[in-house]
Structure 1
Amino acid sequence: MAKSVHRAVGVDIGGTGMKAGIVDLEKGALLSDRVRIPTPEGAKPKDVLATVRELLDLLGPDADSLPLGVCFPTIVKNGRTLSAANVSKKWLNFEAEKFFEDGLGRDIHFVNDADAAGLAELRYGAAKDRPGLTILTTLGTGIGSAFLFEGALVPNTELGHLQWDGHSIERYAAATARERDGLSWEQWAHRLQKFYDHVEFLFSPDLILVGGGVSKNPEKFMPLLKTRAEMIPAVHRNNAGIIGAASLALA
C-alpha cells in the first residue's frame, strides 16, 4: 500500500442514485457520512457531471485535496464507456474519464461500478485471501458482476446481460424487476435462482457474493436460493462502489 495515500474520495454513479464518501484506505471504511443524490433523469453526461460536483460540495472542502475515484455502470476500457444499459446512449464510446477530469479540473481514477465493488471486497472484504474464483453480483437497477480470481480483478464482466427470453437477464431478475412487476420476495427469488443456476453452469465459482442496494435485506431472499458454491452477502453492501473507487488511489 502506498504509505503516502491514506484517504481518498469515492463516487458511485448508479442508474437510480449517485453516492459519495471519504474513505480510509487502510481500513476500507467510510470516514465521512455517505452523501446521496438521485441520478438525474436520463443520466446524460452533463447532468451526471453536475451531480458529481454537487456530491463533492456536500463532502466539504476536505474532499478537494484528496485523490478521487469514480465508478460508473457501463463497460469501461481505457477511460471510455462502451455500453449504456441503464444510462443515456450518449455514453456509448464516450471519453468519459477525460470528460470528468476536464469538468472537475482534477485527475480521477475511473472504473466500472461492479468492478469497483469487487475491488472493495477483494482488498477489504469477503473475497480477501480467498482461493479460486469469487463472483460478486450486485443487484440493483441492473445486475452487475465482478470476477475475482486468486487475488486479481478480471474486469468488465457483464453477467447481467446474459440472454434470457430474448432480453438481458437483468430485466427479468434485477432488484428493480421485483418492484416493477410487484413480485413477492419468494417470486423474485425464483427468478434469481434461474440467474444463479446459469452463472454456476457457465463458471463454477468457488464463492458467490451478493451486493447492491438489496443486499441490506439478505434475510428476505438469500435463504431461498440454493447454489453449489458458498453464497454470502458482500461485506461492504451498498458502500462497496464508493470504497472500491476510492481504493484505486492505491493502484
Structure 2
Amino acid sequence: MNNQIAIGVDVGGSHITSAAVHINKLAIVEESTFSFRVDNKATKDEVLENWGLAINKTIDSISLDRNLEIAFAMPGPFNYKMGIGMFKGNNEKYESLYGLSIPDELSKYLNADKIDFRFLNDATAFGVGVASMGKATTYSKVVAITLGTGFGSAFLQDGVPQVTGDNVPKGGFIWDKPYRGGLGDDYFSTRWCVKRYKEITGKKTSGVKEIADANNDSSKMVFVEFGTNMAEFMLPFLIKYQPDLIILGGNVSKASKLFLPALKNKIEDAGLHVDFEISDVLEEAAIIGSAKLFDSYFWEQVRNTIY
C-alpha cells in the first residue's frame, strides 16, 4: 500500500484539493497538498485535466510508486460504488460528467501505471475524518453536519458511517427530507441565509460572512431563525439516533456563535442532551476521511454500504 500512503481528494463546486495521507496515522503528509480552481460548468476534458493537475502535483511531491490508491470525497448525486457521475439536471456543478466513469476517464490524465479508485460522499467523508481526530474520538455516536452551498450529514458510530437501520435515514442523508414545503437543503445553506436577509432588509449580500459582519437586528433575526428551524427539522432524526456529539462544519458554521444558542436551546427543550463541536478542518477532514477507505479494516466495514 505504498508504505500506507494513499491520496485523498476533496472535490468542491469550484475547486479540487489533493493530498497524500498516512493511513496509519490518519495525517496529511507535509507539503503534499495542492488545490486548483475548477469551472464546474466546463467540458469534461477541462474538468478532468484540472483534477489531474492537482493530483499529479501530489504524486510528484512525495515518493510514491506508479501503483496508486486514490480516494475521493465527492458531492452527489454520484454512483459511489462504480465511480460514475450522476450530475444530470444539476445547474450548479459538473453536468459534463454525467454518466462518465471517473476511474476510466481520469486515469488518462494521471501520472500512474495502475490506480485503485474509491469514492465516498463528501459530507460522509467529512464525518469520517472529524470522527477520527481530536475530541470526537472520545464519543461513540456522532452526527456530522456540513453547512455551506449545500446541507450535508453523516451519522457515525465508533467512526463508521451508519447508512441503514431504523434509527438513521437511508444513506445518512437528510438534505433531501421535506421541510416547510421544500427540502432541508433549501433551508440550511448559504442561499437561504442570503434569501432571508434580503426578504427582511431588501439588501442583496454576497454570503453568510457579510450577513454576520452586519451585526444588526436583521442579521441576528436571520441566524436565530436558522438555528431554530434547524433544530425543528433535525429533532426527529436526532431523537431516533440519540447522538453523543454533533459536529458542525462548512462556511455557515463559521457564524455558529449567532445561531448555535437557538439550535442548542430548542434541542435541549426537547429533552435531548448532546454535546456540540464546531470544526474548522472541513477540507482536511474530507481528505482524511476519504483516504481512510484504504484502511483495510475500515474498508471491510463500509464496502458493502457504498452505493
**Counterpart-to-counterpart distance in 1, 2:287 and 2:161:** 17
Encode CA deviations 1:53-112: one digit per residue, 9 max, x unaligned.
Answer: 121233351356453211110144422445665423455555444443455452222111
Aligned pair partner of 2:81 in 60, 78, 82: 78
Q: For residues 26 and 46 of structure 1, what CA distance do their matches in structure 2 show?
A: 34
Match of 2:230 in 1: 195
The one of 123, 130, 135 aligned to 1:114: 123
CA RMSD of aligned residues (A): 3.1
- Mark the CA change 1:83 to 1:167 in structure 2 (over 3 Å): closer, same or farther: farther
Higher relative contact order (CA 8 A, sep 6+): 1
1:140 pairs with 2:148? yes
Q: Secondary structure at the match of 1:145?
A: strand
**3-state SS in 1 of match to 2:137:** coil
Q: For 2:116, what is the secondary structure of its paired residue?
A: coil
CA distance in 2, matches of 1:245, 1:46: 24
Provide the residue aligned with 1:68 in structure 2. 70
C-alpha change, 1:73 and 1:177, in structure 2 (3 Å) is same
1:1-251 alignment, distance < 5 Å:
5-33=3-31, 34-42=33-41, 45-59=44-58, 61-62=60-61, 65=65, 66-74=68-76, 75-79=78-82, 80-82=84-86, 86-91=92-97, 94-101=100-107, 103-104=109-110, 106-132=115-141, 134-155=142-163, 156-179=171-194, 182=205, 184-185=211-212, 186=220, 187-204=222-239, 205-206=242-243, 207-216=245-254, 218-226=256-264, 227=267, 228=272, 229-234=274-279, 236-251=281-296
Distance 1:57 1:93 in 2: 24
Q: What is the CA-CA distance between 1:115 and the residue it aligns to?
A: 1.3
CA distance in 2, matches of 1:242, 1:193: 31
Q: Which has the higher helix share?
A: 2
Q: Could you give the per-residue CA deviations for residues 112-135 of structure 1, whole angstroms, max 9, x where no partner exists?
A: 111111221233344425223x21
TM-score (norm 2): 0.68
Out of 70-79 and 175-184, give the one that drifted further: 175-184
Distance change in 2, residues 1:191/1:218 (3 Å): closer
Alpha-carbon distance in 2 for matches of 1:88, 1:231: 33
Cα 1:195–1:218 shift into 2, 3 Å: closer
Which structure has the larger Rg?
Answer: 2
Return the letter of the residue paired with 1:49: L
Identity over aligned residues, as a percent?
Answer: 22
TM-score calculated relative to the size of structure 1: 0.80
- In structure 1, distance between residues paired with 2:139 and 2:43: 38
For residues 157 and 30 of structure 1, the distance between their equivalents in structure 2, rounded to whole angstroms, comes to 26
Q: Which residues of structure 1 form unaligned runs of 5+? A: none
Aligned residues: 248
- Structure 2 counterpart of 1:57, one-letter code: N
Does the aligned pair in 2 maintain the 1:27–1:124 contact within 8 Å? no
Q: Distance in 2 between matches of 1:178 and 1:17?
A: 23
One-letter amino acid matched to 1:250: D
The answer as to whether partners of 1:136 and 1:147 remain within 8 angstroms in 2 is yes
